[in-house]
Amino acid sequence: LNQYYGLNLTLSEMSRVASKGSASAARSIHGGFVETVISKGQSPDMHAEQLVDENYWKLSILICVTDSSVKKISSSEGMQLSKKTSELYDSWVRLSKNIISDGRQALLAKDFEKLSFYTELSCMCMHAVMMTTMPELFYWNLTTLRIISLAKELRKKGIPVTFTVDAGPQVKLITEPDFTKSIEHALNEIDGIEKVIESSIGEGAYCESV
């Protein structure tokens, strides 16, 4: 639409528009590694800014789909419910500021070990909030837990891999490209995975033609 109507919006401006749909949409406009920026005031504003582009750190992402059915409660609805009922919500918001700051430093330093720590901490905190929502939002299944356990086991063996889980049961394993195949081989031993999608750090939104 930006190109068709000749609006000449920047990626950051398009990110603001996309944020009306979801925070995930706002982050997906930029390529590489991005950070969500929220400004408070009479008109609260949310958009994403790129920290570094997709060539800064080549990482592989294995998206493990454990249940492709539609969630009974959507992410947006679930988050509003968590905000109203979870005793951990406010603590999570406060802690997230430090996690983002420390995670950003780990990213810029290309420190995979530290980035893994903050990635998983952020993930577990979010799901702790959802699990303490009333009624509880327990999105994980047994396969989700098995994949998380596998990631921890592989890391003990010296394989750089970290996990994060969306507001659902799907697990994303992040690793360095040289270790992708060995991790995929290990995933083959786990029952319940519907499919594994191999991805990488994307280049962001673009329009080839109108």
pLDDT at 210 over 80: no
Q: Which residues contact 189 (CB under 8 A, 6 or more apart)?
A: none
In whole angstroms, give the CA distance from residue 173 to residue 153.
13
pLDDT at 45 over 90: no
Structure tokens at 63: 């998206």
- Which amino acid, 116? S
- From residue 94, alpha-carbon distances to 6, 84, 100, 101, 125 in Å are 41, 16, 11, 12, 11
102-109: long-range contacts, CB 8 A cutoff, minimum separation 24: 104/35, 104/51, 107/33, 107/51, 107/52, 107/57, 108/51, 108/52
Q: What is the average pLDDT value for the chain, to the nearest integer?
A: 93
Cβ neighbourhood burial of 84 (10 Å; 0-12, 13-18, 19+): exposed
In whole angstroms, give the CA distance from residue 26 to residue 31.
11
Q: What is the pLDDT of residue 205?
A: 87
Residue whose token pair is 């979010």: 126
Task: State the pLDDT confidence band at 98, using cuts at 50, 70 and 90.
Answer: very high
pTM score of the predicted model: 0.90
